[in-house]
Chains A and B, each alone.
Chain A
């Protein structure tokens, strides 16, 4: 039971980080970046291919490579499409996602790459008669630390203030002097950093990396940001957490019937959206003050 609760919280934390990475970019560009999954994938490949290095160095390298790929995405594709309709941006991100999957397949091979990343973190500890996986505890700690750090950045720094303002109304933010290129670049770098941590947690649990490694979690994180409230960073984090907790809970409850977990997850999501179409943290329509 305790392990199930820990699993649910850790999966919620993991999806929360993935949703936050997507939410940051959506906030400033109104772009649903499907290729975020490929940032998670390149981070996972980097971790698996650098296991011979000390863990910290491997993690730093991973963050560097992933942030660089995020920057290239922004400079090479999205910057050139700025100002076009969200539908075109969405199709472009689909295209970029598919192209990157082929690039990974060509570069790293179609067969999965596997290596044990941080073996000391993938075991089980006995505590008060309970067997608890280290990875679930680590995931919770890491998610809490990163979410707190992101919370500080977003709520207490000038960059965070600009990100929140741009998420609410990018044009007005620019009219006040917020530098659009700099802010969007920062959002992509941050989303790359978050993707690196998501990949780190994922490869500890499942070190078999293929070109589609980040796809599944990205789709579920997208569901998370929709149910949390698509234009709110807090909503994205909350929505991701809820999706993770529901999915983990369903896996535990359904036992052998877990193949239907996704069906029940999406039924739950539909119910949430029918009750709160704008997401859980939406404020509804605001009255004009006179």
Chain B
């Protein structure tokens, strides 16, 4: 049974339909990439799965249970966390306070201290800057904080919206290395990215979204085939 199962999902803002028919599934410890041109609804898709936007139709199942239309605070407690686009860390709060907020979504409050320790091991920079204001961290450090804050609730599924946005190439490589470790630990990961090459080579499978629908599915082998990637991304004959 798939850990996350999205079937014929339809979502949008008011009467504007952005996602018209998206389906995919994800197994534990696997990753899926989502790519597509700007404005096709990639972020909307993640926000809908995480409960921040109400879906219009279709189904969303987490571990066999429907989370369709649930509130975001309930979904995170069921084991699905989102690292939103632009990181959205609380810049006026300290690194420690940002992590503490991530603990709010834990199902088991008992292991909170150990969870913080684990995040400090995975992201040592958070330990050294624990009492600093989060807004003072570099972009890469903020991204690590955003991932740690989502990860500290020990989700079964982690959604990431453009984790490379605004980061230097060396920092991007570092962030994706951490994501590899997270997947290795058994967390399933969904990554929305503008950098198609990067995510296609990284994820077990990558879906291309255009016009609110899944247009094609790519494997890591497609990452080196620029023609195939361009055709999938922009559409055949475009």
Contacts and interface: CB of A to CB of B under 8 A. Distances in A.
B84 interface: yes
Contact of B84 (A162, A175, A286): A175
B135 interface: yes
A290 B92 CA distance: 17
B215 interface: no
Given A175-B72, A176-B105, A177-B105, A289 B139 contact: yes
B41 interface: no
B182 interface: no
A288 B139 CA distance: 8
A134 interface: no
A161 B101 CA distance: 8
Contacts of A36: none
- Counting contact residues on chain A (CB < 8 A from B), the size range is 20 to 34
Contact of B102 (A176, A179, A288, A290): A176
Interface in B92-108: 92-93, 97, 100-102, 104-106
B35 to A, nearest CB: 22
Given A172-B84, A288-B139, A180 B73 contact: yes
Nearest to A178: B104
A165 B93 contact: yes
**Which of B50, B91, B92, B97 is most buried by chain A, counting CB atoms within 10 A of its CB?**
B92
B101 A173 contact: yes
A263 interface: no
Interface in A71-107: none
Contacts of A289: 135, 137-139, 142
Nearest to A287: B135
A174 B52 contact: yes
Interface in A147-203: 158, 161-162, 164-165, 168-169, 171-180
**Top 4 A-B residue pairs of the complex, sorted by shortest distance between their CB atoms:** A177-B105, A177-B104, A290-B139, A289-B139
Interface of B: 50-52, 71-73, 76-77, 81-82, 84, 88, 90-93, 97, 100-102, 104-106, 135, 137-140, 142, 149-150, 153, 166-168
Given A177-B104, A290-B140, 15 more contacts: A161-B97, A165-B93, A171-B52, A172-B84, A175-B52, A175-B81, A175-B82, A176-B81, A176-B104, A176-B150, A177-B105, A178-B73, A286-B135, A289-B137, A290-B167
